[in-house]
Amino acid sequence: MRRAALVACASVLLAGCKVGPKYRTPSVPVAPAYKEPPPEQFKEAQGWKTAQPVDTAIRPDWWEIFGIPELNDLEAQIDVSNQTLRAAEARFREARALVRLNRSNLFPTLSTGPSISSNRIANSRAIGPANGQFGDYVLPVDLTYELDAWGRIRRSIAAAREEAQATAADRETIRLSLHAELAIDYFELRSLDAQKQLLDETLVAYQKALDLTQNRFDGGLSSKVEVALARTQLETARSQDIGVGVARAQYEHAIAILVGRTPETLSLPVVTLNLKPPNIPVGVPSQLIERRPDIAAVERRMAEANEQIGIARAAFFPTLLITATGGFEGGSFVDWLSWPNRFWAVGPSALEILFDAGRRRAASEAATAGYDQTLANYVQSTLLAFQQVEDNLSTLRILEKQAAAQRVAVEAAEQSLALSLSQYKGGLVTYLQVVTAQTAAYQNEFTQVDLLRQRMDASVLLIKALGGGWDVSKLPSS
């Protein structure tokens, strides 16, 4: 009993040891605030700098900020039906199961292998039964327990847990990307609807201009060249109007796949895009590291790489085992399980590698290099996250300024077109000037539609760059 108690105490003391470095989250360069726009250029574009008091954080269902019920319905289908997200969920469940697999190594392994055999030995054997035949009935129970003296098992469990957390963060990164992709595809489709409406209105205007030119030609006031020019302009616009349908169909099909449906089962009615980009709460740069799932995934894998260093260093120390075996063995079925036929053996053992041609040292160096790699990836991912936020902040500021200028340009182009048509009807200018004014009006209106698309896309990308309402507190803890 004393020996058993000493062995137990030694096991507890040894289990408290753990070789290898202790993990600490490294610091990264973080600015106190996002970059301020030049005040003399963007005095009115401060809406994205700080959050409003009533809404200081992006919500998980961030797409609702746009106030489009149809988009909300489509986004809700991603979590239910998207196959890419299902695959990410399966990868997380696999990683979680591996945590339990590694945790099982903390406990002893029990095994048994009962056997029944009939044997005959040669007559030349000096010792044996008279007829040379005997039965052997064995019921063994084996126990093997590895003392986690150097923390290898505990570090393996921690590494598996950190990989599961990283996989959970990967799942959230994929989820955020899918929701953002759907929102962008939706705004692209609605922008094409607006372009289609603009082209339809342009076709009506061009048809009226062609009719006017034809009437003037019939009256001897215009040349055939002007009629041909008006017809060319009309048919070119008609071709563009038809071509919009190709891109629209592709975006509609892409949306169908994102929500887990076949393209023929989804048909979105034509609706023009006519709204303002929402005001997005940004917060401060120091929060970004906690709000990005991709950064969390890299950080968790960095912690996992740190555990791998400890596992590699534990290989330099002996493996300590406690093994025990016992059971019953008899010569016949009748006396097989009788108490006198019992047997047992128990004792510790140690295994130490004396020579491995530098294998363990190479494994340790590889683990250290792997940690350095994940550290560099972590810092780089953080820097890229700051860049993405700053890029979309500046994009929204500049596009707002450009959109304001473009509204003025559209009004000026419409006035120029009206004057050109009036002068053409009065015979003061040629139709070439009307064509120039019509082209300028269409191009400016098209640019206005496209600017709204760019602003909506930048809003989605900014929300994605900010983490989409996620934070590290949502990572599984065990």
Q: Which of 276, 279, 275 is nearest to 53 (CA)?
A: 279
CATH superfamily of 14-81+149-317+359-474: Outer membrane efflux proteins (OEP) (1.20.1600.10)
Angle, vertex CA 175, rays to CA 57 and CA 469, nearest 5: 5
**pLDDT tier at 3, thresholds 50, 70, 90:** low
Task: Specify the range with the lowest mean pLDDT, choosing from 150-164, 274-288, 438-452.
Answer: 274-288
Q: How far apart are CA 325 and CA 347, in angstroms?
A: 10
DSSP 336: T
Q: What is the pLDDT of residue 478?
A: 66
Q: One-letter amino acid identity for 452?
A: L
Please give the Cα distance from 109 to 67 (Å, whole number). 58
Residues 41-76 pLDDT 10s = 444 344 444 433 334 578 999 999 999 999 999 999
Q: How far apart are CA 381 and CA 295, in angstroms?
A: 6
Supply the mean pLDDT for the chain. Answer: 88
C-alpha 58: how far from its chain's center? 18
Mind listing the pLDDT tens digit for each residue in 147-186? 999 999 999 999 999 999 999 999 999 999 999 999 999 9
Enter the DSSP assignment of 52: B
pTM of the model: 0.86
**Per-residue pLDDT tens digits for 186-199:** 999 999 999 999 99
In three-state secondary structure terms, 187 is helix
Query: Would you kindly state where each structural domain of the chain is located, as residue ranges?
Result: 14-81+149-317+359-474
